[in-house]
Amino acid sequence: MMLLPVMLSACAASDDGKPITFTDDRGVSSQPFPKNYRTEVLSFLKTYLNNPVGVRDAVMADPVERVVGGRLRYVACLRFSAREADGGYREPRERAMLFVDGRLDRIIENAAEPCAGLAYAPFAELEKLTR
C-alpha cells in the first residue's frame, strides 16, 4: 500500500527532468499558427493578473515564430501596465505568450529577447477586461 503514493508522484514529473507545461509538447518543429491567440491570451490574463480591471497602455504583436528553449514556437508579445494594489501603475512591462501546438502554453515574464524587433498594435480588449 505504501508504493501507491510514490508511483503516482512519479507520473507528475517528466522522464528527462524538463518542466511540465500546460500542453503536450511533443517537440515538433513545425507548429500550427495559434488561430485563437487573442481569446486565449485574454482568458489567461483575466486569471493571471491580480486585478485585470484598469489595464493601461496595452499593445500586442501578432504571433511570430521564434526559437525558445531550443525549439521553434509561436510567440505573441504584449506590453501593458496593470493596476497595482495601491491603485497606482508601473511602467509598461513586456511579456511573451508561448504557444505549442496552436494553444497557449506559458507566459515568459522577461521577454526582451523573444520580443525584440516586433511591431505592436493597440490591444484594446485587454484594457476592457473585467473580473
Helices (H), the chain: 3-11, 37-48, 124-127
Distance CA 7, CA 90 (A): 46
What are the pLDDT tens digits along the chain (131 aa)?
Answer: 444 443 333 334 444 444 445 555 555 568 999 999 999 999 999 999 988 999 999 999 999 999 988 899 999 999 999 988 888 998 999 999 999 999 999 999 989 999 999 999 999 999 999 88
CA triplet 100, 91, 112: central angle to 5 degrees? 40
**Sheet strands (E) in the chain:** 56-60, 64-68, 71-81, 93-100, 103-108, 121-122
Whether this prediction's pTM lies above 0.95 is answered by no
